[in-house]
Amino acid sequence: MRSLISTTLIGVGAGLVASFVMDRFQDVAAPAFGMGGGNDDPSTVKAADTISEAVAGRPVTQKHRQAAGSAMHYALGAAVGGGYALAVRQWPDLAKGWGVPAGLATMLLLDDLMVPAAGWGPWPEAEVPGNAYGLTSHLVFGVAMEGTRRAGVAGAKALPA
């Protein structure tokens, strides 16, 4: 059995890859879902502002807002991936859904609960384009995360002991 460290590293890598895949999907899919770039900062930038204000006493500067938002997105993806890999190690049946349940849980817990509770975005509403876009984006994330985790596990097994 792999060590906790190697399991976590595989998961972190899977979360980073899944975050990248999700970003690229959203770049392509946003227009199809009618999701335009509004004037409001994304929740990742608002989260970065919260951290910056707690640490430095001021929000992220305009010059660094996009990079800070991306850093938040990838850091969260890495954390979710690491946690997911550890959970699958303990309860292997979690991987049976090929990441779909993990993507759904990520959307529900983070986008639909944590983001609005922290004041970084609105509470979900019953509107189809935005909900379909968010759901599809997170399902892409979950499947990419599980596929990458499986590839990492297979690659680790192929290495000499």
On whether the CB atoms of residues 84 and 102 are closer than 8 A, the answer is: yes
The pTM for the full model equals 0.89
| Residue 23 to residue 153: CA distance in whole angstroms | 24
* pLDDT score for 48: 94
**Residue 107 burial by Cβ neighbours in a 10 Å radius (0-12, 13-18, 19+):** buried
Predicted confidence (pLDDT) at residue 125 exceeds the cutoff of 90: no
Name the pLDDT band for 161 (thresholds 50, 70, 90): low
Average pLDDT score over residue span 59-66: 93
On whether the CB atoms of residues 148 and 77 are closer than 8 A, the answer is: no
| 64 CB neighbour count, 10 Å cutoff | 14
According to DSSP, residue 36 is labeled -
